[in-house]
Amino acid sequence: MIEIPGPHLLFLGDVTNPLDAKTAMGLRDWRPERCIGQYRLPGCTVDLGLRDMNFSDAVAAGAKDIVIGVAPSGGFLQTEWVSTLIEAIWSGLSVVSGLHRKLSEQPELVKAAAASGQQLVDVRVPPALIPIASGRQRSGKRLLTVGTDCCVGKKYSALALHRSIKQRGIAATFRATGQTGILIAGAGIPMDAVVSDFLSGAAETLTPDAAADHWDVIEGQGSLFHPAYAAVSLGLLHGSQPDAMVLCHATGRTVIDEYENYPVPDLRECVAQYEQAAQITNGQARVVGVSLNTLGLDDASALTACDEIGSLTGLPCVDPLRHALDPVLDALP
Amino acid sequence: MIEIPGPHLLFLGDVTNPLDAKTAMGLRDWRPERCIGQYRLPGCTVDLGLRDMNFSDAVAAGAKDIVIGVAPSGGFLQTEWVSTLIEAIWSGLSVVSGLHRKLSEQPELVKAAAASGQQLVDVRVPPALIPIASGRQRSGKRLLTVGTDCCVGKKYSALALHRSIKQRGIAATFRATGQTGILIAGAGIPMDAVVSDFLSGAAETLTPDAAADHWDVIEGQGSLFHPAYAAVSLGLLHGSQPDAMVLCHATGRTVIDEYENYPVPDLRECVAQYEQAAQITNGQARVVGVSLNTLGLDDASALTACDEIGSLTGLPCVDPLRHALDPVLDALP
């Protein structure tokens, strides 16, 4: 299990496109209390609305690390960023990254961290010792978000469901399975980086025995209908042994993103196939609702879209960024 | 893609249980022309029926490598074996291993190989650069063995199918996906060691474009119904894009091996679920036959068992180690 120090100073580099700062925005949206400020290089036009801070101010304000909140194309840190991060390390900050290229593979950073006693935390590294899945039923309840496709809102849905469950006074833990989710949660396992033999074992490890009325709310990955990533989805599904699933979908998504020859199945078919696959390890598993990403629709159209999918599937359907999640929560076992 | 030098001297260590020599036996059964002889330490009671040779005799007879044909518990080489292997290296043999613990992580072996110019070949290491699956349809035909469980005969079935297809004068290639299969084929990708994001991409890489009437016969892994390994099975299935599948089963297997709370589904259900999953990436995919492992039955009972499953599933059913595969081959598209 990866542990992230925090609180954070969010590093934005010199990016100009808000989409490149998705990780920083996720942290700001879901963990504002852990975000002390932002650090921007000259030329950066993205603004998280946090205080701009230099490293010593951030340390004085309680920051323990600097999080790389941007995703440069290819996953490589730009050379000029590295010298800035070394300065951050010498100022007393650990460095946290979810990029493909590991901090620990960059000798200048390794040297500075070793000399100064700071940590380099690569969140996209699975734990060293993951057991093979046992298939044993665990105590406590589990909710997994599953998707018709990638990038439909499985992470935001899980975070919103987790928050709503807790607001009802029910004990719950968000379980992160991807790099941004792990940065938000401060812990987790990056499923897509786990060696395939150990995938379900990793999911079992991530969601251990818990009190009978406790909910693990697990961030889903990929989609059973994705030609590249379905294995990740299935391993996570089997190891999670979810009692309940929420199917995540985005309006207008008729084919798999970037795979135009692969249609998104009818949502009733998606529900049926997720239930079939999940019931291998939990005979009670069922889809209890649909979380619809209605980005780009006006409020009235968003409601209509939810109503249509609700009628089609016979399940409660809401957009968790616009609507209360109560209809879905009421359907939990 | 891993390439194995060969021909081989088969190293049996000092084992006394034939089951511990499964890899050596697989090579002897399926690649006798690549097996020059066997090397046994004092105390070894297993006999492959090959000539016992010392290292210089083996090199003189054309051996290029020594294959660790035994699987010690835990996957670690015993200390006394290491010194023997170093002697083999200095005699002019590369070393080939399918064990978990890599040869390249054992400094004494690395030093000897570097100094003598021999190779250390770890077959359980996936290639460094595997692309994400594209989902593109490839030319040529593909047959994948799929299982009701692990250890039901998917590798032997694929090898037997490959041989029978070639005996009909049809071009075919066996595609290995596990360590013993890779040692038998001399090349392949160990699917269970691939990082999960790249599983389907690895399967695509393993079975590239081919002539329209060429068959890739792909060794299956795990089972869709296995609580630990279904992800490996699904990633391989999606990336393989099989036109045909042969369902492998073992008589008397009613629950998943070592997972007694997990029943093996009715074989009709297995066929339906494999076809559903495979049709994500190949709409024409179907199960064309059943390969039944009837080990332990007499000939009459084996025939009866095949007939019963044939009637149940409506598919040709044979034991490839006892019966001709023609009924299954006749059902290929």
Contact B231 A228 (CB under 8 A): no
- Strand order in A35-40's β-sheet? A35-40, A8-13, A65-68, A94-97, A120-122
Contact A238 B231 (CB under 8 A): yes
Which of chain A's residues have a Cβ under 8 Å away from the Cβ of B200?
227-231
ipTM: 0.91
Contact B228 A133 (CB under 8 A): yes
CATH of domain A2-122: 3.40.50.720
Question: Tokens for A307?
Answer: 């109503």
* CA gap A2, A219 in Å, rounded: 16
Least reliable range by pLDDT among A96-100, A154-158, A276-280, A311-315: A96-100
Task: Out of 3.40.50.720, 3.40.228.10, 2.60.120.260, 3.90.320.10, select the CATH number for domain B8-122.
Answer: 3.40.50.720
Domains B8-122 and B141-329 fall in the same CATH topology = yes
* CA gap A37, A57 in Å, rounded: 10
To the nearest whole Å, the CA of A179 is away from the closest chain B CA by: 13
* CA gap B47, B50 in Å, rounded: 7
Q: Contact, B277 vs B317, CB < 8 A?
A: no
pLDDT greater than 90 at residue B3: no
Distance between first and last Cα of chain B:
28
Write the DSSP symbol of residue A303: H
| Amino acid (one-letter) located at B167 | Q
Angle among Cα B121, B127, B128 to the nearest 5 degrees reads 115
Instruction: State the pLDDT at residue B155.
Output: 95
Determine the residue of chain B that is closest to A204 in CA distance: B228
* CA gap B261, B132 in Å, rounded: 35
Is cis: bond before A72, omega within 30 of 0? no
Contact A196 B194 (CB under 8 A): yes
Per-residue CA distances from A34 to A4, A10, A45, A46, A164 (Å):
11, 10, 22, 19, 20
pLDDT greater than 70 at residue B75: no
Write the DSSP symbol of residue B34: G
Which letter, b or e, does each residue of A276-309 get, where b requires 16 or more Cβ atoms within 10 Å of its Cβ?
Answer: bbbebbbeebbbbbbbbbbeebeeeebbebbeeb
Question: Tokens for A325?
Answer: 């999640």
Residue B261: CB atoms within 10 A of its CB come to 11
Contact B231 A200 (CB under 8 A): yes
* CA gap A197, B229 in Å, rounded: 6
Which of chain A's residues have a Cβ under 8 Å away from the Cβ of B280?
224-225, 227, 230, 262
Kindly report, residue by residue over B14-43, the tens digit of the pLDDT.
999 887 888 999 999 999 999 999 999 999
Determine the residue of chain A that is closest to B204 in CA distance: A228
To the nearest whole Å, the CA of A72 is away from the closest chain B CA by: 19
Q: Contact, B218 vs B145, CB < 8 A?
A: yes
Chain A contacts to B (CB-CB under 8 A) = 132-135, 191-197, 199-201, 224-225, 227-232, 234-235, 238, 256, 259, 261-262, 273, 276, 280-281
Determine the residue of chain A that is closest to B232 in CA distance: A196
* CA gap B328, B316 in Å, rounded: 6
Regarding predicted confidence, which is higher, A5 or B11?
B11
Determine the residue of chain B that is closest to A276 in CA distance: B273
Q: How many CB pairs under 8 A join A and B?
A: 109
* CA gap A266, A153 in Å, rounded: 18
Task: Find which of A196, A257, A258, A266 to mutate to test the B interface (most B CBs within 10 Å of its CB).
Answer: A196
* CA gap B101, B106 in Å, rounded: 9
Least reliable range by pLDDT among A21-25, A28-32, A321-325, B158-162: A21-25
Res. A73 pLDDT band, cuts 50 70 90: low
Which of chain A's residues have a Cβ under 8 Å away from the Cβ of B194?
195-196
Which of B196, B227, B238 faces A227 most closely, judged by CB atoms?
A: B238
pLDDT greater than 80 at residue A141: yes
| Amino acid (one-letter) located at B153 | G
- In CATH, what class is A141-329? alpha beta
Regarding predicted confidence, which is higher, A126 or B101?
A126
Contact B234 A232 (CB under 8 A): no
Which of chain B's residues have a Cβ under 8 Å away from the Cβ of A192?
195-197
Which of B195, B259, B280 faces A225 most closely, judged by CB atoms?
A: B280
Determine the residue of chain A that is closest to B283 in CA distance: A262
Determine the residue of chain B that is closest to A191 in CA distance: B196
Instruction: State the pLDDT at residue A95.
Output: 96
Which of chain A's residues have a Cβ under 8 Å away from the Cβ of B261?
135
Chain B contacts to A (CB-CB under 8 A) = 132-135, 191-197, 199-201, 224-225, 227-232, 234-235, 238, 256, 259, 261-262, 273, 276, 280-281
Domains in chain B: boundaries: 8-122, 141-329
Which of B192, B238, B262 faces A230 most closely, judged by CB atoms?
A: B238
In 3D, which of B31, B70, B10 has the Cα closest to residue B184?
B31
Which of B191, B197, B262 faces A135 most closely, judged by CB atoms?
A: B262
Sequential DSSP letters for B273-315: HHHHHHTTT-TT-EEEEEEEE-TTS-HHHHHHHHHHHHHHHTS
pLDDT greater than 70 at residue B1: no
Contact A235 B238 (CB under 8 A): no
pLDDT greater than 90 at residue A2: no
SS3 content of chain B, % helix, strand, coil (to 5): 40, 20, 45
pLDDT greater than 90 at residue B203: yes
Q: What's the mean pLDDT in A42-65?
A: 96
Q: Contact, A183 vs A23, CB < 8 A?
A: yes
Kindly report, residue by residue over A160-196, the tens digit of the pLDDT.
999 999 999 999 999 999 989 999 998 899 999 999 9
To the nearest whole Å, the CA of A229 is away from the closest chain B CA by: 6
Instruction: State the pLDDT at residue A129.
Output: 86
In 3D, which of A65, A50, A70 has the Cα closest to residue A8?
A65
Kindly report, residue by residue over B114-151, the tens digit of the pLDDT.
999 999 999 989 998 899 999 999 999 999 999 999 98
Which of chain B's residues have a Cβ under 8 Å away from the Cβ of A199?
196, 231-232
* CA gap A245, A145 in Å, rounded: 6
To the nearest whole Å, the CA of B266 is away from the closest chain A CA by: 13
